[in-house]
Structure 1
Amino acid sequence: MVRGYLPVINTLAKGIDIRLSHRVTNIVRRYTGVKVTVEDGTTFAADAVIVAVPLGVLKAKTIKFEPRLPEWKEAAIDELGVGIENKIILHFDKVFWPNVEFLGVVADTSYHCSYFLNLHKATGYSVLVYMPAGQLARDIEKMSDEAAVEFAFMQLKKILPEACAPIQYLVSRWGTDVNTLGSYSYDAVGMSHDLYERLRVPVDNIFFAGEATSMSYPGSIHGAFSTGQMAAEDCRMRVLERYGELNLLQPVMGEEAGLCVPLLITRL
């Protein structure tokens, strides 16, 4: 996608009350509703809540649930794996590589095997994206941006010795970013694939969504999107059961609200 996911996000966000820089720290659930607290102490009341934060955030327990989530839910969070795949985006003043989708690095150890994604083929921009994963990605996150770019450039020169230095760069750090703490979920060795479904199943009026709750498409945008739709529909039905006609409600957020609509918690 030439402009990334921003056009998709902007389209889906139209008409929605979105609060940025509101990192959630606490979710209290009661039969009558939920109370959500953010870092600055502000609270929001709602009938239900959809939790769509990355699996790494759930694993880190930076959000406290009161009462605690059931053991089967905590086990699903603990037993699903979360991995890291970062991007080191290199912008060059000219294209000097072949017109292929990928440029691969083959080595005698998995630590040094990685690849470059050719964005020029899809976008027309002279950009290559180095994609380190696993332990290599974790180690690169310990480097400065400059050192990480130099490492990526050295990998590129193994493929194309005449490569010229990048003029701009951008380095992601999904593993240490407090809003992600990882990139994608994965099936840990010896664990059941139904952990994804167990993570998706609601707990009373707390619903869960995200790629780590998708049985069919884990680790993908379409997995995150489809489970978000499922959670929204399940949440809508719960509100309908309580109040009847949903369109009679006026969206309200706040402690003093008598009637509230669901909240969606995610890390944008």
Structure 2
Amino acid sequence: MSAVGSTAPGGHGLMVRGYLPVINTLAKGLDVRLGCRVTRIDRRYNGVKVTVEDGTTFVSDAAIVTVPLGVLKSKAIKFEPRLPDWKEAAIDNLGVGIENKIVLHFDKVFWPNVEFLGVVAETSYRCSYFLNLHKATGHPVLVYMPAGQLAKDIEKMSDEAAANFAFMQLKKILPDASAPINYLVSHWGTDDNSLGSYSYDTVGNAHDLYERLRIPVDNLFFAGEATSMSYPGSVHGAFSTGLMAAEDCRMRVLERYGEVDLFQPVMGEESPVSVPLLISRM
């Protein structure tokens, strides 16, 4: 998932400290359960039952589904009763793309002070680019960003082989490049918790598939970048649809119980928590 998509106003931005400060702030006061991979969601007229891998169940009035589109496509989660045909069609007909990151850490900077170093090749298969993190963070780090079929093929390699491949691409641009002292490789296409990087429009299908994926089904609400008509494939798309789904869910529960203060114990009465975010415009 990209940090900032080109559809948002302004230039590209980079979260210098990563998204952890954002996540910690949003999660403050919430009961977050980790290591609970959902396998089944049963929706009933009076509630939702969610089952996780070890058989534990959670019962609630409603649920918000924000798993990546790749996970929905894999049918790793069984919906009972099954989702309506129009919802399944939206899941099936939206595409899931892959763009991986191969992070190369060097002992010194030997490249120009630019945002990107492009790799131009005879075919689109070999075209890619390096993101220069030194410009934003001060660390001697380049991130190789292969996408599409190239990313899929690189995922079949070992991490060491993938890092070597990225370094060879860099050597084509900068023949005197020194070898990296460390590396880190992502595997978004084969990670069971993502199975892809972000959604994309497929040829011959309407753009409103994103909206169809967002529309609730009874007391199930949907959010995530693949449900954003305006900003698909982006963090701000995921965030904005999450806010919409939370409000829709809140109104659904309030409609049932008629209690305006129902969520007050969850939200708390503390003043809003803020965290300093360092965003680089590169």
Q: Is this a same-fold pair by TM over 0.5? A: yes
Aligned equivalents of 1:248, 1:86: Cα separation in 2 = 42
> CA 1:249 to 1:137, structure 2 compared with 1: closer, same or farther past 3 Å?
closer
Deviations along 1:143-200, whole A, 9 cap, x unmatched?
A: 0000000000000000000000111110000000000000010000111000000000
Q: Secondary structure at the match of 1:21?
A: coil
1:184 matched to 2:195? The reply is: no
Aligned equivalents of 1:114, 1:64: Cα separation in 2 = 37
1:110 maps to a residue whose letter is S
Q: Unaligned 5+ residue runs, structure 1?
A: 253-268
Q: Which residue of the other structure, out of 145, 162, 166, is the alignment partner of 1:152? A: 166
> Which residue matches 2:19?
5
Q: Unaligned 5+ residue runs, structure 2?
A: 1-14, 267-282
Aligned pairs for 1:107-122 (under 5 A) are 107-122=121-136
> Which residue matches 2:138?
124
1:79 maps to a residue whose letter is N
> Which residue matches 1:94?
108
Shift of 1:246: 4.2
Percentage identity across aligned positions? 85
Q: Secondary structure at the match of 1:229?
A: helix
Deviations along 1:100-134, whole A, 9 cap, x unmatched?
A: 00000001101100000000001111100000000
> CA 1:139 to 1:38, structure 2 compared with 1: closer, same or farther past 3 Å?
same
Deviations along 1:193-250, whole A, 9 cap, x unmatched?
A: 0000000000000000000000000000000000000000000000000111142468
Aligned pairs for 1:103-252 (under 5 A) are 103-248=117-262
CA contact (8 A) 2:254 2:262 kept: no
> CA 1:210 to 1:168, structure 2 compared with 1: closer, same or farther past 3 Å?
same
Q: Secondary structure at the match of 1:77?
A: helix
2:218 maps to a residue whose letter is D
Aligned equivalents of 2:264, 2:112: Cα separation in 1 = 56
> Which residue matches 2:275?
none
Deviations along 1:51-81, whole A, 9 cap, x unmatched?
A: 0000000000000000000000000000000
> Which residue matches 1:73?
87
CA contact (8 A) 1:89 1:169 kept: yes
What's the C-alpha RMSD, in Å, of the aligned pairs? 1.1
Q: TM-score, structure 2 length as denominator?
A: 0.88
1:64 matched to 2:97? The reply is: no
CA contact (8 A) 1:239 1:246 kept: no
Aligned equivalents of 1:208, 1:222: Cα separation in 2 = 15
Aligned equivalents of 1:250, 1:66: Cα separation in 2 = 31
1:119 maps to a residue whose letter is L
Q: Secondary structure at the match of 2:261?
A: helix
> Which residue matches 2:277?
none
Hey, which bits of structure 1, 4+ residues long, moved more than 2 A? Answer: 246-252
